[in-house]
Structure 1
Amino acid sequence: MRMSRFGGRVKYVYLTCQMVLLWLLLLFVMNTVSVRGVQFRYHDHLALETTLRNFTETYPELTSLYSVGKSVQGEEMWVLVVGKHAARPAFLVPNVKYIANMHGNEVVGRELLLHLADHFLTQYGKNLTLTRFLETTRVHLMPTMNPDGFSRSRQGCNGVTGRGNAFGYDLNRNFPDSANQSPPPQQKEVTNVIKWIQATNFLLSANLHGGTLVVNYPFDSVPGDVNLQKYSQSPDDDVFRHLALTFSRSHPKMHKGFNCNDAFKQGIVNGAFWYPITGGMQDFMYRNASGYEVLIEMSCCKYPRESQLKGFWDTNRDPLVNFLFQAHMGVKGLVYGQSQYHSDLFDIVEGAIVQIKGREGIEFRSSAMGEYYKLLLPGNYTLLVSHPDYYPAVEHFTVISEKVTRRDVKLMRASGSSRGQGQGNGRSGNGDTSKGGPVVSRQEDSHNAASKLIFCPEGQQTRLMFQMASVLILSTLINLLILV
């Protein structure tokens, strides 16, 4: 009898230990593969949010999650920031962004941005090129600008069900445009994005669509005749063509130009030459927000089968990455202004107009942190910087291939009647503020306009509840062991 009881107890303890080990193994698996294994399937809004939160929980030092506001039907418009400086802006670290699912029934980009985030995060510290990029860039990813439209859309290559928002408005015809004499009422999703753009100094952007294979670049209409189908060249046409070609040439099919029963030379097209529109997001970004944006059509089918998503990722991964790399070309710097109270002190200047001679017409402005950026191809250029409170400055500089030129500018304060009678010397430096350089007041926190938008989740509910349940179960098992 004693041997029987003892043997039974040993067997019971053995089985219980097996259960504990299996549970611990399950915990380990759940915590290590929950994000790395982003599945090639369509994520509804709840699943999308869960995936984004998992990224922030698994990579807290490299990510930040916030919402720019809610859609008409109350869905959060989430943005995941990826990079070493994800938590807050840093001086001369450019912001770049991708927006997908602007048209609710064009869904490939929505899923690819989840895989792009996963790619960046899992390769950080392993791939030297990507690591360096993420240490010097803040990448903002908005998987869906139109969650309400997506919820109504249905699988299929054609049709318009779900294209518009909950009120049926096309969001890519809804941005402010002086050429539009009869603008539609501005939709909530567009208002949210405009406020976001105004709060964040985005240098380079793209919005992801579906229905063909091509990169479309500004302008989307001809000034003075918005219905004219004709090439509408912007002052930075060479830069936009370079950006578009960077994506198309990285794509195995797009650059060939004959896809989806369409023909586009080298896989790129000027917006107005293709078909003119007003109220588009890319023209708004370029004209009003000191940034460069293109529209990327990345799939012949708007809402393809899930089984095709892996193929779309394989063909678009390198183009998506290479396009963002272009944020590090041209010229960048800080604009300083002579103090009103002490002539030897200089502070950063917000709102200075920054232009390149020969490319006037589009005014880029220095940010709240005093930064300016201009994307430029290799060559010699003249920088023109002006502000109502200072004498204008002129700087000459050279851009070389695959590098960004640093050129800081000092503006001398204009005073009284002498203002405008001469030109300041506009001295610059290479970021060296030691002897002979400007004394700069750098108040990063006070200039972090984007911080007002950052969403900070209270706790990490999903994982916390899971771990609490695990503790309770383990405690129960331990108590049973003690009792026997």
Structure 2
Amino acid sequence: MMLRIMGVTAAVPLVWLGVLPFYVQSLNFSYHNSGQLETILKDFNSKYPTITHLHSIGKSVEGRDLWVLIVGKYPNKHTVGIPEFKYVANMHGNEAVGREILLQLIEYLLINYQSDANITQLVTNTRIHIMPSMNPDGFEISFLSDCYSSNGRFNKNGFDLNRNFPDVFEENTDPTQPETQAVMDWIQTESFVLSANFHGGAMVASYPYDNSYTTPPDNDVLKYLAELYSKNNNKMYSGGDCSDTIGFSNGITNGAAWYKVRGGMQDYNYIYGQCIEITLEVSCCKYPEASTLQGFWNDNKVSVIEYMKQIHMGIKGQVLDMHGIPIQNAIVDIQGRQRICPYRTNKNGEYYLLLLPGTYTFNVTVLNKSLVQNITIQKSLNLSAMTYNFHFGEKTGNPTQTTSEPCSLHEAGNSSSTIQVCLVTLFLRTLLVLWLHTL
């Protein structure tokens, strides 16, 4: 066998390599422009065709592809029981560290698949979507060693993509940008469960809500996830050393408590996308020298892996009718944790809910029929959430003919009245369930 290392080709006996695949890290610690990024992703896809799928979810204003590489045992399509995870970076084009962290992460996953038991299990049990750059146009006009300016932050049309999403708390009248629309369509296409987006300019893990001081129903899970990421990054957990930002206790903050953001991607994912997302600020300087990149990767490597594993906490399963047929759009609520937009099953009747260990009262509703069940959830083991299927013992009618609510993902709009409609709908539905239980 011929092995090429550092430009030198040499014969290596197969017995020395053993039975495990041998691959030398090839991705250097430097910044990669859009053309280089595309080449790298295509190279990964070519070398690992069975566990990767590369596709563009759309184009930027200037026509650059918004590339996503999927890593998983079944990368080409969703598989029932395997949750969907995503990482997004560089939505502010001049915040460049996350872009390179995600490229390093991709290579790390691919190199260690089938040679590292933890990585093999993670890739086998999770479908991982990685978008290194949401704003390639902005990155191309950013300046190296620019720590503080906004040059390259916005897309080509001059819009901040992290202020461009529909907002349930406040009207957002800005025209939806191509990059934003592509991500919204992507969220609608996949049943994402857990996500994070990378930024720069501070050192902190921030969690929803970004545009409301209201405590979100999954506040315990959100704080747990943010602190888990921070604890595995010593610099972040200690509060960072950014001279121009406030210190953060344990390296975490609620988004709105730091400063309010209208039209943020984090809240959009959580409210409209049924996907828990946090925001990771991973560098004091937005676009630091390339010589610092290896240090940033070392600081975040454990965190990015451990955070992905949390997609397997809590409970998952399907809602099925009397014939075992999956019921789409069934509402899966937990007493005391009702979301603004009720959680709905996907086309496979699946639900994935991230929960800490404890006993919860589930209320599953299909049309005018409801199931109430107390379920005790323990800490997940072996990267597999607890599985529980809800069975409706009688015919529920056409499982796709459930009423679409005004705040559902497909009808999400830029209207400040949306939250009022959602809350009224939730109140009326609760009254209906209570009335049914008295019959």
TM-score normalised by structure 1 residue count? 0.75
SS of the equivalent of 1:115 reads helix
Rate the CA distance shift 1:113–1:217 in 2: closer, same or farther, 3 A: same
SS of the equivalent of 2:229 reads helix
Structure 1 equivalent of residue 235 of structure 2: 253
Q: Deviations over 1:174-224 (max 9, x none)?
A: 0001322342111110000000000000000000000010011000122xx
Structure 1 equivalent of residue 194 of structure 2: 204
Q: Deviations over 1:285-329 (max 9, x none)?
A: 111111100000001110011111111101011011111110011
- Counterpart of 1:192, as a letter, is A
Separation (CA, whole Å) in 1 of partners of 2:280 and 2:172: 27
SS of the equivalent of 1:41 reads coil
Separation (CA, whole Å) in 1 of partners of 2:192 and 2:137: 25
Out of 380, 391, 414, the position equivalent to 1:410 is 391
Which ranges in structure 1 are unaligned for 5 or more consecutive residues?
1-22, 223-230, 339-344, 425-484
SS of the equivalent of 1:397 reads strand
SS of the equivalent of 1:380 reads strand
- The residue correspondences of 1:384-399 to structure 2 (distance < 5 A) are 384-388=363-367, 391-399=369-377
Separation (CA, whole Å) in 1 of partners of 2:229 and 2:313: 15
- Counterpart of 2:224, as a letter, is H
The answer to which structure has the higher helix fraction is: 1
Out of 11, 25, 28, the position equivalent to 1:36 is 25
Structure 2 equivalent of residue 140 of structure 1: 129
Structure 1 equivalent of residue 114 of structure 2: 125
Query: Mean alpha-carbon deviation: is it higher for 165-174 or for 353-362?
Result: 353-362
Shift in Å at residue 392 of structure 1? 1.1
Structure 1 equivalent of residue 17 of structure 2: none
Structure 1 equivalent of residue 206 of structure 2: 216
Structure 1 equivalent of residue 86 of structure 2: 97
Confirm or deny: 8 A CA contact 2:358 2:377 kept in the other structure. yes
Q: How many residue pairs end up in the alignment?
A: 381
Confirm or deny: 8 A CA contact 1:35 1:118 kept in the other structure. no
Structure 1 equivalent of residue 400 of structure 2: none
Separation (CA, whole Å) in 1 of partners of 2:233 and 2:374: 36
Rate the CA distance shift 1:26–1:409 in 2: closer, same or farther, 3 A: same
TM-score normalised by structure 2 residue count? 0.83
- The residue correspondences of 1:300-319 to structure 2 (distance < 5 A) are 300-319=284-303
SS of the equivalent of 1:377 reads coil
Separation (CA, whole Å) in 1 of partners of 2:201 and 2:395: 53
* Structure 2 residue 289 is matched with structure 1 residue 299: no
Which ranges in structure 2 are unaligned for 5 or more consecutive residues?
1-6, 13-20, 398-431
Rate the CA distance shift 1:144–1:27 in 2: closer, same or farther, 3 A: farther
* Structure 2 residue 331 is matched with structure 1 residue 353: yes
Structure 2 equivalent of residue 461 of structure 1: none
Structure 2 equivalent of residue 375 of structure 1: 354
Separation (CA, whole Å) in 1 of partners of 2:218 and 2:197: 19
* Structure 2 residue 156 is matched with structure 1 residue 174: no
Q: Deviations over 1:145-190 (max 9, x none)?
A: 0011111111111100000000110000000013223421111100
Shift in Å at residue 423 of structure 1? 6.1
Structure 1 equivalent of residue 409 of structure 2: none
RMSD: 2.2
SS of the equivalent of 1:79 reads strand
Structure 2 equivalent of residue 364 of structure 1: 343
Separation (CA, whole Å) in 2 of partners of 1:52 and 1:260: 32
Shift in Å at residue 278 of structure 1? 1.1
Structure 2 equivalent of residue 189 of structure 1: 179
Structure 1 equivalent of residue 425 of structure 2: none
SS of the equivalent of 2:311 reads coil
- The residue correspondences of 1:282-297 to structure 2 (distance < 5 A) are 282-297=266-281
Separation (CA, whole Å) in 1 of partners of 2:232 and 2:80: 30
Larger Rg: 1
